[in-house]
């Protein structure tokens, strides 16, 4: 350590994060955060960052995320703590970006409220802003000009005071909804639907191998095929929700409950949409190999081209999606339920209870 760093006070910043995406973000932030804090906060200080990933937000002590964060950080020697959770919150019907406890120097960031794009830079900016705020340190001159990312915490009128706590809010449920879908990570759902993929492959094979279905596909109007394709996606999503009990009952915050369910539906829609695109590509490759042009022209009784192949592939994909929806009922509940906040929180409560039991035994 240099002479300059040894003469400066050391400030320990704790990053406490829920598992899954918040934990991944905290881990990625930790390495470069001391340098960012030194560059953006106007104070000579040595920064040290410690990261803990555990389901602090699932602990039922206290009334809210900030209370549970306070309970957890009391066991640490951090100078300031910033906690990351993927659980959305609202205050007076407005999405909550962060909850700040000035006295204990603790803040909780609701990651979904930061949106669905450029998430890591936004979380980094929010963490730096909150650390400076809790320690009473002004931003360095070079960092005082707010960017579009930091505007989430700097817009005038975005905070409401309540004793020593501050709730930072930001209008825009669409941003929150996009952040919820991003936090649910729908691509993981797509990768986990192995049983559904097997069913979809069987259904698609039936559509690609039977000449009667070729004739039907060629006879259907484009709008009928499009409507059937959308309907098959809706069946898939509905089957996942019902088969794995993903619909969450609305609690006291009815608006937030509806938003949670809407986020689940959109996540499933994105996930099944990616699933259908993969199936379309696979069916196109198979159709180009196993259906000869001459034989298809003989069956249809006219010259054929890309349009006829496209109709057959779409119809086969529709059949595959319906079969995949049935096959999704055989999927492991844990794989599918990770897209629903309520089930994810229940898993974290179980983990938190186990960790607390182990701690008491030690």
Q: What is the pLDDT of residues 77-107, one digit of tens each?
A: 899 999 998 888 777 777 888 888 888 889 9
Residue 350 lies in a domain: no
Cα separation, 63 vs 347, whole angstroms? 19
- At residue 229, the pLDDT reads 94
- At residue 330, the pLDDT reads 63
| Of 63 and 290, the one with more pLDDT | 290
Residue 359 lies in a domain: no
- At residue 352, the pLDDT reads 55
3-state secondary structure of 113: helix
CATH number at residue 103: 3.40.390
**Residue 147 shares a structural domain with residue 259:** no
Burial of residue 93 (CB within 10 Å: 0-12, 13-18, 19+) is: exposed
**Residue 28 shares a structural domain with residue 120:** yes
C-alpha distances in Å from residue 173, one per residue of 92, 186, 258, 289 = 13, 19, 12, 47
The closest of 35, 89, 37 to 64, measured between CA atoms, is: 89
pTM: 0.77
pLDDT above 80 for 183: yes
Q: Based on the structure, what is the number of domains in the chain?
A: 2
Residue 20 lies in a domain: yes
- At residue 123, the pLDDT reads 92
- At residue 4, the pLDDT reads 46
pLDDT mean across residues, the chain = 79
3-state secondary structure of 87: coil
Burial of residue 79 (CB within 10 Å: 0-12, 13-18, 19+) is: middle
- At residue 252, the pLDDT reads 46
The closest of 177, 132, 110, 188 to 11, measured between CA atoms, is: 132
Residue 347 lies in a domain: no
Residue 150 lies in a domain: yes
Cα separation, 303 vs 178, whole angstroms? 46
**Residue 125 shares a structural domain with residue 203:** no
């Amino acid at each position: 350590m240099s002479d300059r760093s040894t003469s400066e006070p050391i400030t320990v910043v704790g990053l406490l994060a829920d598992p899954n995406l918040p934990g991944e973000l905290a881990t990625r932030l930790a390495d470069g955060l001391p340098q960012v804090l030194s560059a953006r906060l106007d104070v000579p200080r040595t920064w040290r960052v410690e990261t803990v990933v555990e389901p602090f937000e699932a602990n039922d002590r206290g009334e809210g995320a900030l209370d549970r964060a306070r309970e957890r950080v009391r066991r640490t020697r951090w100078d300031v703590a910033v906690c990351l959770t993927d659980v959305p919150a609202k205050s007076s019907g407005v999405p909550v970006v962060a909850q700040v406890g000035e006295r204990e120097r603790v803040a909780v960031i609701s990651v979904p409220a930061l949106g669905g794009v450029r998430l890591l830079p936004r979380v980094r900016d929010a963490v730096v802003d909150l650390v400076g705020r809790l320690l009473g340190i002004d931003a360095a001159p070079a960092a005082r000009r707010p960017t579009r990312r930091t505007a989430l915490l700097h817009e005038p009128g975005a905070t409401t005071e309540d004793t020593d706590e501050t709730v930072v809010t930001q209008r825009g449920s669409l941003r929150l909804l996009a952040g919820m879908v991003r936090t649910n990570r729908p691509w993981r759902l797509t990768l986990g639907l192995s049983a559904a993929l097997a069913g979809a492959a069987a259904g698609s094979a039936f559509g690609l191998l039977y000449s009667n279905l070729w004739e039907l596909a060629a006879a259907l109007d484009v709008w009928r095929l499009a409507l059937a394709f959308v309907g098959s996606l809706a069946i898939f999503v509905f089957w996942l929700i019902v088969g794995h009990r993903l619909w969450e009952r609305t609690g006291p915050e009815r608006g937030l409950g509806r938003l949670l369910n809407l986020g689940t539906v959109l996540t499933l829609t994105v996930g099944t949409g990616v699933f259908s695109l993969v199936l379309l590509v696979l069916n196109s490759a198979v159709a180009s190999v196993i259906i000869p042009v001459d034989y298809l022209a003989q069956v249809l009784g006219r010259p054929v081209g890309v349009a006829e192949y496209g109709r057959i592939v779409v119809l086969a994909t529709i059949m595959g999606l319906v079969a995949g929806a049935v096959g999704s009922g055989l999927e492991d509940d844990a794989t599918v339920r990770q897209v629903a906040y309520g089930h994810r929180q229940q898993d974290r409560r179980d983990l938190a209870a186990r960790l607390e039991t182990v701690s008491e035994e030690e």
